[in-house]
Amino acid sequence: MWCLCEKCEVLSMGALKKENYKIVRAHYKCIRCGECILNCPTSVWTRDSKKYHILAIMGSTGKKNPRLAEDFLLWSCEESIIKIIINTYKYVIEYIDLNALGGKEHMDYIVDRTGFMEFKKWDLDGVELDDIAKVSENIYWSGIRY
């Protein structure tokens, strides 16, 4: 049974289910809207006291190759996100092509050129993730999706 009541079914997009008399979220169905928390009629679903974030990367609005950002890291704490941002700066300093576009090479082009695995290695260097965190194994940009 995925939904606990009609309101849950509509507002949580079917992402809540009952397991062993406990309410749990089906992460693969979750669209991260927060409606389950805001509108639960029984208040059984609440926010964790620790704030978790989602890190999406490499979206681009360029005229030639626009693409939507893809989820890189799900459910990461703020401390880890800050370390990843610092690591991203280190990665860019190491790999930016100062001759490309007058030294204004976009991040997505750097990742395309060096490869996602290299980017991932740099970004996660020294970062300790919580057990709940999920890191993308690889990211394949599929182009525009409607």
Predicted TM-score of the model (pTM): 0.66
Q: What is the pLDDT of residues 33-44, one digit of tens each?
A: 777 777 666 666
With DSSP H G I counted as helix, E B as strand and the rest as coil, what are the percentages for the chain, rounded to 5?
A: 35, 20, 50
Judged against a pLDDT cut of 70, whether residue 124 lies above it is answered with yes
Q: How far apart, in Å, do the first and last CA atoms of the chain sit?
A: 30
Judged against a pLDDT cut of 80, whether residue 77 lies above it is answered with yes
The alpha helices in the chain, defined as continuous H runs, are 6-11, 35-39, 78-95, 107-114, 116-123
4: helix, strand or coil: coil
Q: How many helices (H) and strands (E) does the chain have?
A: 5, 5
Quote the mean pLDDT of the chain: 79
